[in-house]
Amino acid sequence: MMKKPVILLVDDEEAIVTSLRGGLEDEGYIVITATDGVKAVDIVKSQPLDIVFLDIWLPGIDGLETLKAIKDFDSDIDVVIMTGHGTVSTAVQAVKQGAFDFLEKPFSLDTVLDIIHKIEHKRAAIRSDMSRTPPSEEPPALIGTSHTLRMLQEKISQLASGNSHVTICGETGTGKELIARLIHAGSRAAKRRFEKCNAAFYAPEEIEAELFGLPKTADASASRTGLLRDRSIGTLFFESLFQLPPRLQQRLADAIGKASAPRIIASMPLTAGADEEPTLQPQLAACFSESLLVPPLRERRGDIPVLLEYFIKQYCMEYNCKEKTIDDAALELLVNYDWPGNVKELKNMAEKLVVSVPTSHISIHDIPLAVRDELQHSMSRYYERYRSMDDAEAAWRKNYILYHLRKNNRDIAATAAQIRVKEKTLKKYIRQYGIVIAGKKKTPQLRQRTLKRSMVLSGRGLHSGDKTGIILTPLPPNSGIVFGNISTGETVRADIDNVVSTELSTCVQANGAIARTIEHFLATLHAYRITNLMIKINNEVPIMDGSAVDFCQVIEDAGIEEQDAPLEEIIVTDRYVLGEVKKNAKFIMIEPADVFSISYTLQYPKPVGTQEYTFVLKDEEMFKTEIAPARTFGFLKDVEAMEKKGLASGGRLNNVILIDDEKIVNTDLRYPDEFARHKILDMMGDLYLLGRPIRGKITANMTGHTENAAFVRMLRDKLGL
C-alpha cells in the first residue's frame, strides 16, 4: 500500500487553511498547518514532509524566501505556490526557482487534489526507476575522522554484533536511518531485508494492518502478511514509533517478544530546546535494551570539511561538471555554522553549491544568505534551539568571538585586546568552541589620490538655472573632498553629517558654505577613487548634460596622482539592511563581496515601468561606459510643480529626460534601462559621503537620495566610521 503524502499548508488566511485542511483530511491525507514562513521552515526541519502548499504573501519572510529555505533544506519536498490575482508572474518565477506548480486563488479542492495526484504519480515513477537500479555492492558508510565519529562507529559495531532491539536518538538530519542500515549490514541478519516503516504516515487502522497483517479471506487480494510476521525482513526500522496509539504500542510490545519477529530499530527524535522529548509507553520502551545517541553535526565540526569535500565531489560527478574547490573563508563560515538540519542540511547545501555556482571556485559570497545571516548577526532568534542556559550562553560567546575575529581580520592578538581578554584566554575559547580560523585576508594596499593639475569646467545649475563654474584644485593627503564657494572662499566637506537636504538632490552645508546637486560629481570621484580634492563652485555643481560624462573627461584630462599615503577601503563584513526587503517596498541592503556592486530595481508608472540593472565597479572604464552617461530624468508634471517653487530652472531639453503620461518627449534613451542606471549613479555619489571607497554588494529597490543618506548614516554608525 502506497503511503499518503504528509502535507503542510502555509497561509495566514484562516478561512483558506480551515477549508483546505478539512477537505484534505477527509481524503485521508495527514495535514499540518502554519501561518507564516518562519513557522513553516521550523516544521520542515523538525519532521518529514512530502508536499507544501505555500501562499506567496506571508508575514515575516515572504513565500519566495520560504520556498528558497525549504528547497535549501530538502530539495525533494514538492512546493506548490498559492497566489492571489495579479501575482501570477511572481508565481511563475517561483516555479522556475523550484516550485512544482502554482494555484491561482480562488481554487477548488478538486484542483488541489489533481496537483497532489500529479506529485504522487511523479514520486511513484521515481521509486519505480530506483527499484530497477541495481543496488550498490558497497555498504553505507559514515564520513569523517573526528574522535566523536570514531566513538560512534565503535558503538555501531558493538550493536551490530548483538541482536537486541535498539533506539537511535538524534536531531533531524543526523543520519539515524544510515546508522540503522550500518547496524543491519554488520549483523547476522544482513542477508535478509532492511525494511522501513514510519508510523506518522498511516491512520491507526492502516498501521495496524501494515504491522500485523490481515487475516486470509476468500478474497486473496485482501489478505496480507504484516511486517512483524514477514520472515524475509531482517531489520525493521521504525520512525515516529511514539505516534502509535497506546493500544498498538501494547500490541507491538507483545509481538516483539516472539522469536519470529524481526529486529526492531526505532528512531527517536531530539529537538534542541524542546521542553519534552517524545517517549514510548513503558512496556514498549522496556523492549529496547540498547540505545544510541547520535551527536549533532555541530559537536563534530572536524568532520565538516571532509563531508563537504565528499558531497561536492559526489554531486560534481552526478551533474557531470568539473570538480569544484571551496576557499578558506567559505569553509571557515560553514565549519562554524551550527547546522540545525545536521548532515542532511550540509548535503543539500553541497548540492546547491555544485548546481548554482557557475565557476569551479566556491567563495564565501556563494554561501546562501540564510546561513551567513544566521551565523553572523541574527543568532538571538535561534537561541530556542539550545537545550540549556549554558548552551545558549556558549552559543552567544562563540558568535561574539567570531564577529570580532572577522572584524580584526583573524588577528588573535588584536581581537583579544578589543574584547578585553588575555590572548591565552581567547585561544582557549577558540579551542573550546571548535572555531576554525582561515588565514588572514591579504588586501592590496590602496593609495590616496588627487588630480595632477587644476582644472576648470563651466555649465548651468539644474535647480537655480544660474550659469556656474567648477574649479578643481589638488589637495594633499588626508584632506578629503571639500566644496568651496568661489566668491567667499568658505568651505564645506563632503560628509554625511553636513547633508541638509535630499529632497531633489543631495546638498551639504556648513560654515556658511553650501554645495547643491553634488551626487554626480561625487559618484565620479568614487569611481576614480579620488580622495583629496577642492571643488570650488557658486553654490551648485553644474548639471552638464544630466550625466557624469563631462566629469569623467575632466578628471582624465587632469590626470590622477597616486599619493604617498595609504587609503583604507571600507570592507563590509556583515549584512546591513535599511527598510524591509519586499518586492514593493523601499529598501537598501549591503552584503560582503570581493568588489563594489549595486543591483537596482526601479518601479515607476508607465511609460517607464520596471527597470533593473546591476553594475560591478571593476575599474574606471566600466563606470565611464556603463553608468556615467545615464542622465537625470523627470516627469513633466513634477517639473512644472518644481518650477512653481522656483526650482528646476536650469532644466533644458538637452540635460534632462522629460516624460509625460505616454512617452519620453525630448530625446532617445542611451540605454533601455537608463533610468535604473541613473539611480545607481546617484547612489554611488551619495555613498561617497563616507569619504572612502566601499567594498560590498548592494541591492536597492525604489530608493532615492533620502534613503541613500539614511543608509550612509546607518553604515557610518554600524561600522564605527
DSSP, residue by residue, 497-543: GGEEE-SSS-EEEETTEEEBS-HHHHHHHHHHT--SEEEEESSB---
Looking up cell 498559492, which residue turns up? 82
DSSP, residue by residue, 617-634: ESSHHHHHHHTTTPPPEE
Active site residue 404: no
* Under 8 Å between Cβ of 269 and 172: yes
The whole-angstrom separation of Cα 180 and Cα 262 is 13
The whole-angstrom separation of Cα 489 and Cα 192 is 94
* Under 8 Å between Cβ of 36 and 58: yes
Handedness of CA 132, 134, 139, 145 (dihedral sign): negative
* Under 8 Å between Cβ of 623 and 663: no
Give the list of residues 6+ apart from residue 125 with CB closer than 8 angstroms, or none.
none
Q: Which three cell numbers stand for residue 525?
A: 570621484
* Under 8 Å between Cβ of 450 and 473: no
DSSP, residue by residue, 142-209: -----HHHHHHHHHHHHHHTS---EEEEE-TTS-HHHHHHHHHHTSTTTTSEEEEEEGGGS-HHHHHH
Determine how β-strand 499-501 pairs with β-strand 507-510.
antiparallel
| Of the candidates 205, 272, 278, the residue with the CA atom closest to the CA atom of residue 240 | 278
Give the list of residues 6+ apart from residue 365 with CB closer than 8 angstroms, or none.
591, 592, 593, 594, 697
| Of the candidates 559, 525, 522, the residue with the CA atom closest to the CA atom of residue 541 | 522
Helices (H) and strands (E) in the chain, counts: 23, 31
Strand extents, DSSP E, 130-230:
166-170, 193-198
**Residue 95, CB half-sphere, CA atoms under 13 Å: how many?**
12
Q: Which three cell numbers stand for residue 155?
A: 558503538
| Of the candidates 61, 52, 110, the residue with the CA atom closest to the CA atom of residue 82 | 52
Q: In what order do the strands lie in the sheet with 6-10?
A: 30-34, 6-10, 51-55, 78-83, 101-104
Identified catalytic residue from 165, 520, 526, 705:
705
Residue numbers annotated as active site: 705
